Amino acid sequence: MSIPLNADMHCHSTVSDGLLAPAEVVRRAHANGVDLLALTDHDELGGLIEARQAADALGLRFIDGVEISVSWGDDTTVHIVALGIDPNEPRLKQGLAQVRSGRDARAVRMAAELDAVGIHGAYEGALRYAGNPALVSRAHFARYIHAQGLTRDVKSVFDTWLAKGKPGYVPHSWATLTEALGWIHGAGGVAVIAHPGRYRLNGMEMRRLLGEFSEQGGSAIEVLSGAHSPEQAREFARYCREFGFLASRASDFHGPGESWIDLGRMPALPDDLIPVWQRFI
């Protein structure tokens, strides 16, 4: 039996809400033994050229990716990872610009709500971490709030202030599933449902999401994700078989100290599943 590739199909750089520059992400992946890497910043392609150059210099195989924010059903945010897209495809670029355009106004509303519960200066604070108002995300708010000394770690900020139902959570309309899949397929890419175990969907709702995704040409789901427990990995391996999806393996790495798992440090996929990267190698 051949040794499986150490493929990591999902991670972030400073171009969205990661802590390392694109080239640093690539160098860290290489040092961790990753053979095949996709950089998948949120709604943004701006790190791909730098990352690819760094990967070429190291002889690390690289896939152009992006993680698209989608609103699905009754106010559920679902993330769709696009792999192997042409980063110059105009409709994809325009679609992503449209998705990004709502972030600044959302951040202003989030800051107003946080202000009302005693967390002041959060808009300016989050922007200091984000750099770019078009990319300001809850992760940047979380870093600012954590830096106020209010929580033991950055993740805990979500439980108290930023998760759905908490004071700083503002509902938002991202792309529709149909739009995101249209942009991805139009740019020659493969669509993957990111961290399906993170969505608070019951079995019936999950099957509806997976069914719609499949009918519209979606190809794969993340079975192994930094955000999944071992039990969730087994659950999504079963869904993968049931729907005939390809399987992905994804750290969702954001930075040292802030992520569940480091680049490339996930177990191997179950033997019977077909890895999504078979499309690229």
What is the binding site for ligand AMP (CB under 6 A)?
17, 42, 69, 137-139, 155, 158, 163, 254
We find the least distance from the C-beta atom of residue 145 to ligand AMP, in angstroms, to be 12
Q: Which range of residues in 73-81, 91-99, 124-132, 179-187 is near Mn ion by CB under 5 A?
A: 73-81
DSSP structure string for 142-199: HHHHHHTT-SSSHHHHIIIIISTTSTT------B-HHHHHHHHHHTT-EEEE--GGGS
Residue closer to ligand AMP by CB (options 28, 237) is 28
Asked if 47 and 13 touch (Cβ cutoff 8 Å), the reply is yes
- CA distances from residue 206 to 47, 70, 159, 171 in whole angstroms, order as listed: 32, 15, 23, 20
Q: Which among Mn ion, ligand AMP, none contacts residue 223 (Cβ within 5 to 8 A by kind)?
A: none
- Give the amino acid at 250: A
By the rule CB under 5 A, 20 interacts with Mn ion = no
We find the least distance from the C-beta atom of residue 67 to ligand AMP, in angstroms, to be 8
Q: Which range of residues in 64-72, 114-122, 128-136, 160-168 is near Mn ion by CB under 5 A?
A: 64-72
| Separation of alpha carbons 117 and 112, rounded Å | 9
Look-up: residue for tokens 């192997």? 84
List the Cα angle 172/199/12 in 5-degree steps: 75
We find the least distance from the C-beta atom of residue 276 to Mn ion, in angstroms, to be 15
We find the least distance from the C-beta atom of residue 114 to Mn ion, in angstroms, to be 19
By the rule CB under 5 A, 50 interacts with Mn ion = no
Binding site for Mn ion (CB under 5 A): 17, 67, 79, 194, 252
